[in-house]
Amino acid sequence: MVGPPLLIWERRRTRRPFTSGRFLWFTQGTSAWLLWPPVMHMRAQGRDQAIAQGSAGVCFFYGTPLMAVYVTISLLVGGRLRRKHWRRARSWREKFGLLLALAWACTGVYVLGKIYWEDFRR
CB 30 within 8 A of CB 4: yes
State the alpha helices, DSSP H only, in the chain. 3-14, 20-44, 48-53, 55-58, 64-77, 83-87, 92-121
CB 27 within 8 A of CB 4: no
pLDDT tens readout for residues 53-93: 677 777 777 888 888 888 888 888 887 777 666 666 577 88
pLDDT in the model for residue 89: 54
Q: For the beta carbon of residue 66, count every other beta carbon within 10 angstroms.
A: 18
Q: What DSSP state is assigned to residue 91?
A: -
pLDDT tens readout for residues 6-59: 788 887 888 878 788 888 888 888 888 888 888 777 778 776 665 556 777 777
Considering the entire predicted model, what is its pTM? 0.68
Domain ranges in the chain?
3-121
